[in-house]
Structure 1
Amino acid sequence: MEASTSTRPSKSTSVAACFWTNPEVLHWMKNSLPELFNKYGGFFKAHGIRGRTLFMLNDNLLLEMGITDSQDRAQFRIEIAKLKIKSDLLTLKNTHHKGNIRFLEENQISESPQNENVSIN
């Protein structure tokens, strides 16, 4: 069986976008910004833009990458900002969840009472 060559994020629902690889960023672009992906996907691939780098892109950096249309740069910035919010929420959710698991592990409660004497007066 052949290995998959898809650029689809393997764990997009559980991995915050700041940890995405370049193929995962390209997949996001293709789905979220298909017209811009067709115009500029090659730039993002050539520059090896990953999730963390994606969040650092500002108007000047997009221009340096070759995205000369100001409306295209504005659209990128808006979609990247939306993605960052979603990524931050996912990170917080995962951190909160892991914190709860850690708390439960550190404070294990026995399911069977061991000679507990409870008196009600």
Structure 2
Amino acid sequence: MAIIVGVGFTINWRYGTGTGYDDRVPDEALTELLAELDEDDVEHGDVWLSDGSSGWSLGVFAGDSHLVVLENDEQGRGPFHRTGVTRAESFTLLRRLADGHAEQIAAEPWSPGYGG
């Protein structure tokens, strides 16, 4: 996962590039991020949003399981996962993380591990 230092949020696109945002992540960027999962590519099956200030990252995976993973490597929390998450629900989770609500997301029901 590419991390861009000195940036509030980092989007990690499907093919490894990163885009940093100092504060507000636009809805359009999150929509484009999720749209990358429409292409069938098993090797590059996920996209991520990372919050540099809280350490939380949220990954959305392509495929039939509709997997979403939440983790905080800095604090040693997670990984946690959910399956069956719709595209709309994935967008909402990404938007909430980008709006600074990582702890509220983490307090919701999650299963331990990466779900694989």
- TM-score, structure 1 normalization: 0.27
Higher strand share: 2
Higher relative contact order, structure no. (Cα contacts within 8 Å, ≥ 6 residues apart): 1
Larger-Rg structure: 1
Higher helix share: 1
